[in-house]
Amino acid sequence: MADNIVIYSGGCVARERFSDSFIGLVRELEENRRTLFDCPDEIIIHLLAQFGKEIIKDPSLVSIPGLSYLSLWLRRENLHGIYHVNFEKIPGTKDPISVDSRIEMIHVPRGIVCHWIAGNIPLLGFFSLVLAALGKNASILKIHPSVYKYLNPLLQKLEQVIVNIDGVSYSGSIITSAVSLVSFPGRAESLSRDFSLSADCRVIYGSDDAVQTISSLPHQVHADTIVYGPKYSFAVFDKDAISSPDFPSMLKKLAQDIVLYNQAACSSPHTVFFEKSFIHLHDIAEQLKSALQSLPERMFYPLDEGIAISVINTRARYLLDSSKDILIPDDMKWTICINDIVSLEEPVQGRCVFVKEVLDIDQVLPLVTRKVQTVALGMADHERKEKYVRELAYRGVDRVMAPGTMHEYTQPWDGMLGAGRMVRWIAVRISKECC
């Protein structure tokens, strides 16, 4: 049997159909994206913000992981901030951006954005399509079939959203009619090639192997490629932070970072470094244990079988090694591994974190590469923190965040302004002089 494309949506989010080509879908989205292009920028933000308010009230959506954060992220103020930092203007303003006294520039959508969505974070695809929609692009999201049950109900909900602005009603279908979810086997080389060639912009999320394979596919010469590859994240606390009265609060916030997404996100901390202080490392680990125990039960999602086995194997290694220590509950909720090796441990996931003591936090700096995405930094001295942040950035870190905010989907992300990469900038000469 020949491999087919399963098209879960395309103009009508409730429709599912099969095809052996992207030609018809691309033609449909090209037609539909004209309505999105003609829609005022501010209306798109109004629709997304109203959608964010409505999803949190809908009991049929409550089981979607990360829904409450998506609702907060879609606040109008946050969308305004994303728009402003990516497009260098306030949404709703029509004036071009001046380059100099003779040249202005405007941004326009690239066209159709093809997204390869990794399956580790259920709502990753929705965040990606929102960034594309802010630039008025159509989107085709290649998803794993298991992600459909999260994304399709959200698209159906967005399609039903109505906002009334200045006496005119606008529907969320302006956005959803320019979005399609598709699935097809990665082994189907011809479909993968055709999908890549359908893109005016490619957005790739995935492992190192996936990124290398997808990046090498044929593509349109004009198409830009945005890569969000595999990354590593960790946390650092200096001795002043450890001694401060805020330290227990910092640990509770770090515990939330550890637990969210079962450590499957690139922004999940796997190793935590504590600068040597008057508090023994084991006592700090006990405090982190208390922080993890204080988190609500609903935050602990069941572990996949493969990850559970990795956690069990890691626990066994530490229990059998007299040079190491470990703190574990009676179940699989979390695991704290303690050792004195200054290194970035290989991720185990499943809420398994490695804690270490360093004489000076500068010992951590040689470990930093461009593979590091997020560092949660607990530091009390502002001047020391400023210098440390600059050094982390120089060595390749993309994000330096306070404990508890490692997963906030901010712009820039992975060193890029994602929405801004999905538009073209058009130069317009405004001088009346003859060229």
d(CA 321, CA 266): 29
Average pLDDT of the residues in 369-397? 97
pLDDT-derived band at 101 (thresholds 50, 70, 90) equals confident
DSSP lists the bridge partners of residue 139 as 113, 179
Average pLDDT of the residues in 84-106? 83
Residues of CATH 3.40.309.10 domain(s) within the chain? Answer: 232-401
| Of residues 145, 147, 129, the one with CA closest to residue 137 | 129
pLDDT of residue 13: 45
pLDDT digits (tens, 9 = 90+) for 188-227: 899 999 999 999 999 999 999 999 999 999 999 999 999 9
How many Å is the Cα radius of gyration of the chain? 24
**What's the maximum distance between 2 C-alpha atoms anywhere in the chain?**
82
pLDDT of residue 2: 56
Q: With a cut of 80, say whether residue 163 has pLDDT above it.
A: yes
Average pLDDT of the residues in 292-313? 95
Task: Determine the 3-state secondary structure of 144 from DSSP.
Answer: coil
CATH of 5-229+414-429, one of 2.30.30.30, 3.40.640.10, 3.40.605.10, 3.40.50.2000: 3.40.605.10
Average pLDDT of the residues in 358-374? 98
Torsion of CA 69, 72, 78, 82, to 10 degrees: 30
d(CA 122, CA 115): 14
pLDDT-derived band at 16 (thresholds 50, 70, 90) equals low
Q: With a cut of 90, say whether residue 9 has pLDDT above it.
A: no
Q: Beta-carbon neighbour count of residue 252 at 10 Å?
A: 18
pLDDT-derived band at 1 (thresholds 50, 70, 90) equals very low
Residues of CATH 3.40.605.10 domain(s) within the chain? Answer: 5-229+414-429
pLDDT of residue 284: 98
> What average pLDDT does the chain have?
93
The CATH architecture that domain 232-401 belongs to is 3-Layer(aba) Sandwich (3.40)
pLDDT of residue 12: 42
pLDDT of residue 365: 98
pLDDT of residue 434: 52
Asked if 384 and 361 count as a contact pair (C-beta separation under 8 A), the reply is: no
pLDDT digits (tens, 9 = 90+) for 121-141: 889 999 999 999 999 999 999
The CA-to-CA distance between both ends of the chain, in Å, stands at 60
Q: What is the percent of the chain with per-residue pLDDT over 90, rounded to a whole number?
A: 86
pLDDT-derived band at 165 (thresholds 50, 70, 90) equals very high
pLDDT-derived band at 285 (thresholds 50, 70, 90) equals very high
d(CA 131, CA 175): 12
For CA atoms 251, 253, 259, 265, give the dihedral sign: negative
pLDDT of residue 89: 85
pLDDT digits (tens, 9 = 90+) for 232-284: 999 999 999 999 999 999 999 999 999 999 999 999 999 999 999 999 999 99
pLDDT-derived band at 228 (thresholds 50, 70, 90) equals very high
